[in-house]
Amino acid sequence: MRWPLLWMPARWLDALMYEDLSQPTKLRAFGFVYAGIFLSALFLLVRRARLSLEGAPTALVYGFALSFCALGALPFLLVMNRPELELIVGIATLLALVLGASGTDRAWPAWAALAIVQYYLLAHHPNAILLIPLLLASWLALRVPGLARILGMLWTGTLAASLLGFYSQLLQCPLDPYVRGLFLRNTLNPELFRQFPDYFFWQAFRNLFGSLEYVSNIVFRTEYMVDWLPRDPLRAYGLAALVNPAILAAWSLPLVFSIARLLAPLAARRPLAQAAGDAERAARLLLAGLLASLAVTCAAQINRNDYRSTQVLLMLLLSGILALIGPIGQIRESAWRKVMGFAYAVCIVSQIQFLLSFAPHALASWRTPGRTPAQLASLNHVGYASYRADVLIAARHCGIAEDNPPDHLVLDDSTYPAFWRSKLPYHLVYLTSGWAHGIGNLKALLEERNYGGIVARCDTLPISLRRLTKESNGICCASRQAK
């Protein structure tokens, strides 16, 4: 199924960035780039919001916001090259853009920039549909003529309708109906709203009130989902028993700020439209839209995994920043200093636990070329050149060449960079994990699809494929003719 023409520029950009993955370091580099863009947008948001906070300099306020990004395992998630990070980069950029334009008269350049940012958001992940409240609120908050707002909302509606239509067809998946069921088990099924509306809202409330799990995903644990971090007992002699509750308490701060900010106009009996200034009015509208999108995202997601925690928690952090615009003068200086001091203290203790927990792995198992030992979802880029040489040697035993690989090779994370030129390869994750439910005879399926051979770590292959292969240094290969 081909993407609609409207989305082809985004797909061409993806191809330009990710087509050549001959080195896994490239993925890590993009992760750091996206994290850097987010932190820059966060600084720009703090600066444009003019958060002096009882005379505290911008750098100190930025440090307060930055401290949340250093809690628990969140530093790892910040550099994980996942669409959720791209979404949060787009959200932070959108907020900084609208707030920056609130005090200017350059309406149409700001309109065009916001339209591009919204396109970027919706092009990167279907979960961006859940951000519609924020996208609509951004047009209301932007200082542009009424006609421009209407055109902007029509643009958002056009993008959303196109994206929904594409994914609705994609999820039909007639060759494997289980895929549609898998997606629907991970998210709230919209079809329930029409068939069983009471159960739909009950499930949505259950999902929403289970949102504490997003924070529990990043605290220090002996086991993380899908083995993307090592399974080890917690170090530092029980320091984690002190750090984890503090992390949970720290993340309650932006939530409290946001709720208090939304209730402030009601307490003052002042309509939203009568805000003191453009920046404050824009911040309130953006905060309402962001919190609505956050609530919809939490209510829609049944599977609250680690990387989704990145999006949800950083959206909460951004809402806390927006909440500090305007009424901060009502917070006593002594109270504010205690809040800031608590956040800094939690950050410092968390970083100590972070180093004690993961430094030993950084000096040992994380330097092993290829797949990280005991971390099935991790790939080491350190020393990958030597591992790549082993992969190519193993592949040549089966007549598979690097410069002209056959189409539809069966690969895994560690061997894909060596054979990225293979056309439409099969990834073992989608052949052997929960995504592969209902395949049955895997070898028969691959033969039916004219697979070109196998190059993968032996410990990732199921028995049905393992017996077809030859082994070299823990890497298995098989030619198309293997029986």
Does the pLDDT of residue 134 top 90, yes or no? yes
Burial classification of residue 332, based on how many CB atoms lie within 10 Å of its CB (0-12 exposed, 13-18 middle, 19 or more buried)? exposed
- Residue 9 identity (one-letter amino acid): P
For residue range 73-88, list pLDDT tens digits in order: 999 999 888 888 999 9
**pLDDT tens digits, residue range 4-37?**
888 999 989 888 888 888 888 888 889 999 999 9
pTM of the model: 0.89
Residue 238 is predicted with a pLDDT of: 64
Tokens of 46: 């703090």
Give the model's pLDDT for residue 74: 92
* Euclidean distance between CA atoms 286 and 280, whole angstroms: 10
Residue 271 has pLDDT above 50, yes or no: no
Residue with token string 């709720």? 259
Can you give the pLDDT at residue 55? 58
**Strand 453-457 to 475-479 pairing:** antiparallel
pLDDT for 337 beyond 80: no
Q: What is the pLDDT of residue 226?
A: 65
Cα of 239 vs its chain's centroid, Å:
28
List, for residues 141-182, the tens digit of each pLDDT value: 988 888 888 999 999 999 999 988 888 777 776 656 566 666
Q: What is the pLDDT of residues 234-266, one digit of tens each?
A: 555 567 788 999 999 999 999 988 888 887 765
| Share above pLDDT 90 across residues of the chain, in percent, rounded to a whole number | 28
Share of residues in the chain with pLDDT > 70 (%): 85
Give me 93's structure tokens. Answer: 């950029």
d(CA 154, CA 44): 28
Distance of CA 434 to the CA centre of its chain: 21
CA–CA separation, 150 and 154 (whole Å) = 6
Handedness of CA 358, 360, 361, 367 (dihedral sign): positive
Query: Which pLDDT does position 113 carry in this prediction?
Result: 92
pLDDT of residue 274: 45
Report, as an integer, the average pLDDT of 421-433: 85
Length reported for the chain:
483
Angle between helices 333-362 and 239-268 (to 10 degrees): 140
Neighbours of 345 (CB within 10 A): 13
pLDDT for position 295: 92
Contacts of 166 (CB under 8 A, 6+ apart): 3, 4, 7
